[in-house]
Structure 1
Amino acid sequence: MPNTGRRYHDIAIILVDDEKAFREALARRLEKRELRVYPLASARETLQVLEKESIDVVVSDIRMPEEDGLTLMTRIRERYPDLEVILLTGQGDIREGVEGIRAGAFDYITKPVEIEHIESKIFQAAAAVRRRRERRMEGEVRKELEERALQAEKLATVGTLATGVAHEINNPLAIINEAAGWVGQVLDRPSMQNLPESASLRRAAEVIQTAVQRARRITHQLLGMVRRESEPPRPCAMPEFLEEVAALSRTIHPESEVSISVEEGAVLTLFTDPHRLRQILINLVENAIQAMPKGGGITLSATSEEEGLVFIKVKDTGPGIPETVKKRIFDPFYTTKPQGKGTGLGLYLCRDLARQLGGDLVVVSRTGEGACFTLTLPRAMPNGTGT
């Protein structure tokens, strides 16, 4: 009779044995004990199932024609260190079982198998697997919390300095910008047209003004980390809003060879802060443009795949994002751009703004296949009005 004091319905095992009659008979008996059993005939089939299914325990015969159980166990332990393996030995083959334990098996059982005995061993092995997975998850959660605490401490430090420093920097920046503009106006006077090096002076004034604008963007990003001003939610009609973002992005980057288009779609209206939404999308488009310096395409779209949610996508045809970069792409101060070309705050602020709007921002990308940033927002911003 099944042991009703134990819950096995969520434990999955592989039973691998080249003897079909033995394998199928034992599998039926274990399934009556509420175990989820995958009866297989070879090591090759076992590894194929392990790639697709979440398995707790592998019960394997030691002696099999294609690949023996000890070799299979070694391969399992290398690829799936959390799993436990129980070996089946023939009567009188105790030495092989002991060798298996030394090599890392959870235990061995001799044939003929007593159902209560193997049931007990499977339960013990599964319990060990679950404890190991829980400890690993706890460790990952702890590590994530520690990283968040470190990040929060870093941001708090920057936030304390950001407001005062940004204002102090913006004042001389305004003076520099006005002086460079005045130099440009003087050089435009008729009396200055024949001045030697006038063209070089005009280019120098333009370089100064460009550098000032970049410095202002950096200070605005720093201020954005600590500011939480918002506008009352207002209706933002798609795709008109996306057309506006596309047109504005083209104006900001007139030199870009990247095409920016908006996909036709259903007419959608969401009630949100248009200023912050616009800021997110323009930043995402700008990142995509910078990823495609030699041309390409950016497509904006909006859909409502789930009731109450709107999915806004910014998709590019760029080089894609490597996995190592994708894991950290939303971290503050992380950038792959050359020194002096990026602060590492843009995407962090985009996701932060998305969460302020009650949504989230994620990216899907593979190297060589472009990138797609998806902004998920509620149809009505929290504390807003919707239809």
Structure 2
Amino acid sequence: MFRPPFDSQARPQSPRSAYYHAAQDVVDLLSSSAIALRWLVRLRWHAVAGTALTVGVAARGLRLDLPVVPLLALVVLTGASNLLLTLWLRRHPVVKSHHLGAVLALDSLLLTGLLALSGGPENPFAMLYLVHVAMAALVLGPRWTLSLALLAVVGPVLLFQFHVPLRELGDGTGSVLSGPGRVVGTWVAFSLTVMSVSLMVARVSAALRDRQEALVRAQLLASRAEKLASLSTLAAGAAHELGTPLGTIAIAANELDVLIQEEPQEALEDARLIRDQVERCRDILERMSARAGQTYGEAPEQTTTSAVLERMREELTSGELARVRVEESVSVALYFPPRGLVQVLVNLVRNALHASEATQSPVLVRVMGDGGRTRFVVEDRGTGIPRDVLERVGEPFFTTKPAGQGMGLGLFLGQTFAELCGGRLELASEEGLGTRATLELPCRKGPAHVAA
């Protein structure tokens, strides 16, 4: 076995996408409001646990005269609303901005109630209003942000008029939120606010970046699917339009062959040459139509890697097979369109043979299966691909072969086939050392296996 060294020049392709379908619109499922609301649900569970613990410590440990029952009632209300919200999200994955805004407004009102029962404006945890406003500013529009900001401003004003002072048990005079106690409470509240806002911004921003990347990949796959559909239409039209004249030429050549049986051998050979070339043109058109459309029109079938490799050998000529080495450690069950998969492998092998034609070095085809994925690896010791060319490999109609030796569609169709099957096609190359093409597909079982 040989493995030419490779550097990091790899072309990562799109990850898993729906089988046989171009990527659908994922804006609703991955909207910023949906991302933020799912994160807010987790944050609210932490808030419920933290608030209940704080009430218990303050009442029992610090011996504060708190209205424990009303406080715990608000905590239970928060937990119940979060449970309902969790169940609602399971049935309604599409989240709009007003859903998130309503939950943030509810949390602002619940926070106002908790603060009113635990010191009002003297409670340093009033800083937590900023968490709701910050999330609205990050995800929602200016209308919701302004509304929540008004709640954060009006809430403390109401607390000045309506609140229960914090006092120690048995002490009817001074507030406990003064001196060192207030300093410590302010520091704790400030720390929680900073950590909550920082974590929220980091998590939501990262999720939004992932969403944007997913949208870009979906648009790329949809664009590839559209181009492939256009190629399929073009190929089918060409085959239809050229089929009739080629058939006529074939009939004429056959008649000519009969008429000149007793004529000079040279004329007979010319007639047979016409017939052979017509058949060759017909075969080329059929293959062109199949290559362009088989990823859409061909149904998936249950097969194995061994069967795919055998069909690949049948497609290659004896001269090509003489330079191909196949290594298969284990036969893996597959459920894909067999013609499409075989054609992709044949294109990769022929590209490798062409790249190593000068050295006549062998081309290695390896099959590996692990972690629910099957990999077909085609390696050559050819001239390699320059970095600037590698960046364009896979574009439709881009080819480095001489005119008449390639249409520049093989890798484009291979990448599209892999993506529509939930896999990917990667190329890694280094000039002067060779190229490695890796076709990675998920291990799927057909309906018969699933039913069994």
Partner of 2:364: 299
Matched, 1:192 2:256: no
What do the CA deviations read for 1:38-82 (whole angstroms, capped 9, x no partner)?
A: xxxxxxxxxxxxxxxxxxxxxxxxxxxxxxxxxxxxxxxxxxxxx
Aligned counterpart, 1:261: 325
Amino acid in the other structure paired with 1:262: V
CA distance 1:181–1:194, change in 2 (3 Å): same
**Counterpart in the other structure of 2:312:** 245
Between Structure 1 and Structure 2, how many residues are aligned?
239
Match of 1:207 among 277, 298, 321: 277
Alpha carbon RMSD of aligned pairs, Å?
Answer: 3.8
Aligned: 1:378 with 2:447: no
Name whichever structure is richer in helix by fraction.
2
- 1:328 partner amino acid: R
Cα gap change, 1:189 to 1:291, in 2 (>3 Å): farther
In the TM superposition, 1:39-118 aligns within 5 A as none
- What is the CA–CA distance in structure 2 between the aligned matches of 1:359 and 1:182, rounded to whole Å? 45
**Aligned CA distance change for structure 1 residues 272 and 211 (closer, same or farther; 3 Å):** closer
Distance 1:299 1:150, change over 3 A: closer
Residue 240 of structure 2: aligned partner: 171
Aligned mates of 1:260, 1:372 — CA distance in 2? 14
The answer as to 2:419 corresponding to 1:334 is: no
1:15-60 superposed Cα distances (whole Å, 9 cap, x missing partner) = xxxxxxxxxxxxxxxxxxxxxxxxxxxxxxxxxxxxxxxxxxxxxx
What percent identity do the matched residue pairs reach? Answer: 25
Q: Residues 221 and 345 of structure 1 are in contact (CA less than 8 Å); yes or no, is this contact kept in structure 2?
A: no
1:315 aligns with: 379
One-letter code aligned to 1:335: T
Q: Secondary structure of 1:239's match?
A: helix
Following superposition, the deviation at residue 336 of structure 1 comes to 1.3
More strand by share: 1
Q: TM-score, normalised by structure 1?
A: 0.51
Q: Which amino acid aligns with 1:285?
A: V
Deviations 1:237-260 (A, max 9, x none): x3343133123223xxx5648522
Distance (whole Å) between structure 2 residues aligned to residue 355 and residue 385 of structure 1 = 23
Q: Distance in 1 between matches of 2:228 and 2:417?
A: 18
User: Higher Cα Rg: structure 1 or 2?
Assistant: 2
Structure 1: how far apart are the matches of 2:416 and 2:299? Answer: 16
State the TM-score, normalized to the length of structure 2: 0.44
Aligned to 1:9: none
Output the amino acid matched with 1:234: Q
Q: Is the 8 A contact 2:291 2:343 kept in 1?
A: no
> 1:261 offset after TM fit, Å?
2.7
Q: Contact 1:233/1:384 (CA < 8 Å) preserved in 2?
A: no
Deviates more, 1:367-376 or 1:332-341: 332-341
Give deviations 1:244-302, integer Å, cap 9, x for gaps. Answer: 3123223xxx5648522311413333333323322221222232333344644222221
Where in structure 1 are there 5+ consecutive unaligned residues? 1-137
CA distance in 2 between counterparts of 1:155 and 1:357 reads: 12
Q: In the alignment, residue 268 of structure 2 is paired with which amino acid?
A: S
Deviates more, 1:288-297 or 1:365-374: 288-297
Q: 2:411 aligns with which of 334, 347, 351?
A: 347
